[in-house]
Amino acid sequence: MRRLKLALLTGAYLCLALIVSLLMWRTGAAPAVGLSAFIGMLGLCFAFHGLISNAFESVSVRMDIETVREAHAILLEQLSRVDARMTELVETVTLDAQRRSDELSTEVHQLEDLIQDMNARLEHQLTHQVAAARVEVRGRSPQSNIMLEVVQDALAENRVDLYLQPVVSLPQRRTVFYESFSRLRDETGRVMMPAEYLAVAEPEGLMTAIDNLLLFRCVQIVRRLAKQDRKVGIFCNISLASLADESFFPQFLEFMQANKDLAGAVFFELGQAAFDQRGPVEARHMARLAALGFQFSIDKVVDLDMDFQDLSRADVKFLKIGAQMLLDQLQEQDGKLVIASLPDLNAADFAALTRRYGIEVIVEKVEAERQIVDILDLDIGYGQGHLFGEPRAIRDAVLAEAEPPQDFLRGALGRRTANW
C-alpha cells in the first residue's frame, strides 16, 4: 500500500513538473530553460514531499511514544492492583491459619475438659460405693476371696499388661491387624492367664475395668502406630457385661466419641455365645458404637450355621474361626468338599458367602504349615496363630506412653472395683 502511494505521488510530481515546463515552452522560453524548469519543479516536489513525510513520521512517532506511555501507565496500575490483591490474600491466609489454629486449640482444650469431667464423675462414683463391696466379699470361699484380692490389687496397682498378636494377610503373611490381650500380674510378678482370673472377675463385674484399661491402651497404641505411618488395626475384646453396664457404658461411649477418628482401626471383639446372648440393652449399645463408625468381630465360633444377615445388620466386619475346628468341619459329599454345618454349600464358597454380607473370615489358632494348604484352598484372606507370631508383651517404654492417667485408672475400675 505504501509503495502504491509513493508511485502515484511520483507520477503526480512528474506530471506537475511536465506541465510547468510545457507552459514555459509555450510562453516562448528556450528548450533548455524548459528542461531546467522541469528538473527544478521535480526537485521542489520531492523536497516538499520529504518535508511533509518527515512531519507525518514525527507525528506518528510521537503518537507511538504516547501510546507506549499510556500502556506503561496501565501496566503499572495493574501491577499495583495485583500487588494489593496479593497482600490482601496473604493477610487472609494468615488470618485463616490463625483462626484454624485457635479452633484446634479450643477443641483440644474441650477434649481435655471432657476427659477431666469424666474422671471426676468416676472418682465420685468410686467414693460413694466403697462400703458396699466389702459387704459382698464376706460370703465367698477363702480361695475365691484370695483370688479376688489378687485381681483387685493387680487392677489397683495397674499391673495389667498389654499383649499383641499379629493377624496376617494370606498368602502374603503380611501383618495387617493385631489382636490385643490383657494379662494380669500378681505382686510377685507372675503373669496370670485369663482362665485364672476370669472366674472371679466376671461375676464381680471387674470385666468393665479390664475392658476399659485394655481399650485405653489400644487407642494409645493405634495412635502411636499412626504416627509411624503404619496403617494397621487392633482387635480389642469387650465383654457382654461392659455392654450391659448402664453406668459404665455412657462413659465408655463418651471416650470413643472423643476418639471416633480411629473407627477404621479399632474393632471390638465378642465371642459367638456372647453375641447370641445379647439383649436389647447390649444391642442398643452396640448400635451406638456402630453409629460412631466402629465395627465388630466375632470369635470363639463353635457353629458355622450363622445368620449372616443379622451379623451384617450388627456391623460385624470379621468372623474368627479356629483352624482345627474349620478343618474338622470339612467332609466329602457327592464328590465335592462341603462344610458339615452347611452341607448345601461348597466349602470353597464359604468365604465368598460371608463377603457378600461384608464379613471377612479370619482363621485363628493356626499352629502348623500343613493347615495353611487347606486354608488357602478355601479362599480365606486372613490368618492368626502361633505360626505367624505369638502374643508378645508391649515393651515397658512403649507401654509407659500408653498408661492412663491415675484418675482415669481409678475410674476405669467400674462399679465393683470402686468398692474395695
Alpha-carbon distance 146 to 141, whole Å? 9
Residue 79 has pLDDT above 50, yes or no: yes
Write out the three cell numbers for 138.
464376706
Residue 400 is predicted with a pLDDT of: 46
Chain segment 210-266, per-residue pLDDT in tens: 777 778 888 888 888 777 767 789 999 988 888 888 888 888 888 889 888 888 899
Q: What is the pLDDT of residue 171?
A: 92
Cβ atoms within 10 Å, residue 104: 10
The per-residue pLDDT for 384 is 96
Fold of 163-404: TIM Barrel (3.20.20)
- Name the most confidently modeled range: 135-144, 164-173, 235-244, 394-403: 164-173
Model confidence at 32: pLDDT above 70: no
CB 403 within 8 A of CB 161: no
388 vs 3, residue with greater confidence: 388
For the chain, the C-alpha Rg in angstroms (whole number) is 45
Domain ranges of the chain: 1-118, 163-404
The pLDDT-based confidence of 406 (bands split at 50, 70, 90) is: very low
pLDDT tens figures, 267-324? 999 999 999 999 999 999 999 999 999 999 999 999 999 999 999 999 999 999 999 9
Query: What's the pLDDT at 38?
Result: 67
Whose CA is closest to 419, among 137, 165, 150, 173? 137
Tell me how far apart the alpha carbons of residues 117 and 371 are, in angstroms, rounded to a whole number.
51
Residue 118 burial (CB count, 10 A): 19
DSSP 307: -
pLDDT of residue 229: 64
pLDDT at 138: 47
Q: What's the confidence (pLDDT) of residue 135? A: 42
Q: Is 302 left (phi over 0), alpha (psi -120 to 50) or beta?
A: alpha
Residues 6+ apart with CB under 8 A from 325: 301, 302
Give the per-residue pLDDT at 410. 46
Q: Rounded to the nearest 5°, which phi and psi values hold at 92? A: -65, -45
pLDDT, mean of residues 108-122: 59
The answer, yes or no, to whether residue 418 has pLDDT greater than 60, is no
pLDDT of residue 82: 84
Say how far apart CA 208 and CA 202 lie, in whole Å: 9
Name residue 131's amino acid: A
Query: Which residue, 329, 346, 328, is CA-closest to 337?
Result: 346
Please determine, for residue 60, whether its predicted confidence score (pLDDT) is greater than 90: no
Higher pLDDT, 88 or 196: 88
**Residue 333 pLDDT exceeds 70:** yes
So what's the pLDDT on residue 141?
A: 57
Weakest mean pLDDT among 47-51, 145-149, 267-271, 340-344? 47-51
Q: Which pLDDT value is given to residue 106? A: 66
Distance from C-alpha of 235 to C-alpha of 310, rounded to nearest angstrom: 21
9-13, 268-272, 362-366: segment of lowest average pLDDT: 9-13
129 pLDDT higher than 60: no
Torsion of Cα atoms, 275 then 278 then 283 then 289, to 10°: -50
Cell numbers 500380674 correspond to what residue? 185
